[in-house]
Amino acid sequence: MTSTLYRLRESNHPRAVGTPSGYTHGVARELKLGVMESLGVYLKSRRDRVTPAEIGLRTYGTSRRVPGLRREELAQLAGVSAGYYTRLEQGLAETASRQVLDALARALRLDDVETGHLHNLAQRSALPRLADPGPENPHPRVLALLENLGEAVPALVFGRRGDVLAWNHAGNALMAEHVAFDAPRDPERRPSLPRMFFLDPLTRDLYRNRAELARVHVAYLRLTAGRYPTDARLAGLIGELTMRSDDFAALWATGDVADCTVGALRLQHPTVGEVDVDYQVWVQPDSPDHRLEIYTPRDAASADAVRLLLQFVR
């Protein structure tokens, strides 16, 4: 089988440089705890986005020095003392009960994903020690499912940090045809979707709805950071993207969290032109860190483009 990469080398089609070290799954040179979010930081970011008018509080025309709720206002809404809430936000309170966290979530109008993130942050210790979990290995059951798909639809397997652990040829050709097909097999060469999305010029040009997807990427990465607060590789990734991408840094500062299970990709593919696909994520119960993402065309023209692309990989 002639790979897509080899075919493109024979054509006049421009290609990027394989898998640049800056876009692969390497451990950052300096790992810092500061990029991992604390409960207090998250509470303040959510408090800042809720205005008194949204929840029916009367301000009587007084000037306000905060963009959203004051600490004492949120404490009153949640049914806790202002002093206790202040200590909680400043990281001085030892713990918070589930009841208190749920009350804060209701007052802040958090959705289910945001509430889960709040609980995850509350469970971590004040100063967790970062540890390197080592490279991820895709679960055999996920690989079996990917293999059974064949090349019928483009598909990728992602790890918890957005590293591509495996893909079929169709997924490689659709999402990163400038990357060698066998790159995910080597932990040191694995493509990192967050790094490629924010740092790789070719990947940046691939997405026509890039602004929308950027918010999703950052919000999901923050959700993952709440689930794995001591993952040194994750901390290194977040720190690197914050330093190297202004877009990422601005979105990270918003404090938003979201899950990423379904959505739309509007692509400007360098080989077949415009392609619109829906993505859907499948999570195995016994390996929730490994997400199988499949892509299905949204219209007839996109289906034709995907079929044309598949001709290069068969």
Q: What pLDDT does 68 receive? A: 84
Beta-strand ranges (E) seen in the chain are: 155-158, 164-167, 262-269, 273-284, 287-297
Q: What pLDDT does 51 receive? A: 83
Give the CATH number, domain containing residue 302.
3.30.450.180
Is there a single domain that holds both residue 62 and residue 174? no
Give the CATH number, domain containing residue 65.
1.10.260.40
Query: What's the CA dihedral at 291, 281, 191, 251 to 10 degrees?
Result: -110
Task: Provide the domain limits for residue 87.
Answer: 37-123
Is there a single domain that holds both residue 263 and residue 157? yes
Q: What pLDDT does 182 receive? A: 94
Q: What pLDDT does 60 receive? A: 56
- Number of domains observed in the structure of the chain: 2
How far apart, in whole angstroms, are the C-alpha atoms of residue 276 and residue 178?
A: 19
Q: What pLDDT does 271 receive? A: 93
Residue at a domain's end among 65, 95, 123: 123
Sort strands 262-269 and 155-158 into parallel, antiparallel or unpaired. Answer: unpaired
In a domain, 60, yes or no: yes
Q: What pLDDT does 23 receive? A: 59
Give average pLDDT by consecutive 10-residue segment, the chain, 314 residues. 34 37 48 64 88 72 74 87 88 82 90 89 71 89 92 94 95 94 93 95 93 95 90 92 95 90 95 96 83 96 92 74
Residue at a domain's end among 59, 92, 123: 123
Q: What pLDDT does 148 receive? A: 93
- Go through the chain and tell me how many residues it has: 314
In a domain, 128, yes or no: no
In a domain, 32, yes or no: no
